[in-house]
Amino acid sequence: MQNQIKKDRIPFRWLNGSTIAVLICCGYWHGQAEDAKPTPAAPAVVPAVAPATAPTAAPVPAPVPAVAPPAAPATAPTAPPAAAPASEVKDVSLTADQALQRLIAGNARYVAGSATHPDQTPQRRAELAKGQAPFAIVLTCSDSRVAPELFLDQGLGDLFVIRNAGNILDDHVIGSMEYAVEHLHVPLVLVVGHEKCGAVSAAVAGGEAPGHIRSVVEALEPAVEQVKNLPGDKVDNAVRANAQRGAEILTHVEPFLKEAISHAKLVVVAARYDLATGRLEILKEATPSLSKH
């Protein structure tokens, strides 16, 4: 199975960026003041004879400088009240059954047009800066119409989401799931295909796919082959088969996923999302629910 997963791997090439530094140099101006030449004082004129009876002039009062009103004492701006320190993210410790029911309830709200958009407050962001504790892993398509936090009515930190065209499995996807299961202790994996998936449609149509799209189509061919003789819509049949097949493969992936399943710590479920209605349809539990152990 590892060989099957590895052949689906798509190489990526990272482009090295460059840093542009702009140095701005500032000039300066230097001027020299002219030397001021001292102006000779005019000679004092002394009257030859001072009048004997010169009346004493009344003293001229010195001008009183205008007094500015006393300035108001400087007051330091009032700092906003400090927010209470954010607590560590609490581990909700949901079982797989509880996690699945929480997703189903969220989807029901979304379908009814009464989504609550939980866990999107500034306080929630502050909590999540300290860590995360998602309660479900969702593997679904990259299609812009298929956004798990929206159609499941969940918020920041609730879901560990992995998306690619056709919700296919490869080493990177499985490694991401293993991290969430092993380090974040997520109890539920939900593999979601969706109505009118473009990647599945390309695989059903067959022919040569251009560029790296070929690797996506090749990964979907087993699901297409599995249902090619079934009646009904070939694309939708393949969408369902691909989600169920992916969920089934995950139950056998070693070491972390298979071990977690064997210890009743993980459940894998396949589902289909309807674009028109927004409804999530549970197709199959690839592993028994925890309440049945």
pTM of the model: 0.69
Whether residue 147 contacts residue 96, with contact meaning beta carbons closer than 8 Å, is answered with no
Q: Which of 20-29, 144-153, 195-204 shows the lowest per-residue confidence on average (mean pLDDT)?
A: 20-29
Angstrom distance (rounded) from CA 185 to CA 287: 17
**pLDDT at 111 exceeding the cut of 80:** yes
What are the pLDDT digits (tens) for 213-265?
999 999 999 999 999 999 999 999 999 999 999 999 999 999 999 999 999 99
In tens, the pLDDT along 184-223 reads 999 999 999 999 999 999 999 999 999 999 999 999 999 9
SS3 call for 205: helix
Amino acid at 83: A
Which homologous superfamily is 89-292 in?
Carbonic anhydrase (3.40.1050.10)
Sheet holding 136-140, edge to edge: 159-163, 136-140, 188-194, 267-273, 280-285
Is pLDDT of 271 > 80? yes
pLDDT at 88: 44
pLDDT of 161 reads 98
Is residue 93 very low, low, confident or very high in pLDDT (cuts 50, 70, 90)? confident
SS3 171: helix
Per the CB < 8 A criterion, the answer to whether 189 and 183 are in contact is no
pLDDT tens digits for 33-83? 344 444 444 444 444 444 444 444 444 444 444 444 444 444 444 444 343
pLDDT recorded at residue 289 = 52
State in Å, rounded, how far the first CA of the chain is from the last one.
27
159 or 58, greater pLDDT: 159
In percent, the amount of the chain with pLDDT more than 70 equals: 66
Q: Given pLDDT bands bounded at 50, 70 and 90, which one contains residue 284?
A: confident
C-alpha–C-alpha distance, residues 215 and 109, integer Å: 37
- Quote the CA–CA distance of 110 and 103 in Å, as a whole number: 11
Rounded to an integer, the average pLDDT of 94-106 is 97
How many CB atoms lie under 10 A from the CB of residue 223? 25
pLDDT given at position 89: 53
Residue 28, pLDDT above cutoff 50: no
Kindly report which listed range (86-90, 266-270, 286-290) carries the lowest average pLDDT score: 86-90
Choice between 63 and 271, residue whose per-residue pLDDT is larger = 271
| Residue 92: band (very low, low, confident or very high) from pLDDT cuts 50, 70, 90 | low
Query: Measured between alpha carbons, how far is residue 88 from residues 121, 125, 128, 211 in Å?
Result: 16, 11, 8, 45
Residue 188 β-bridge partners:
267
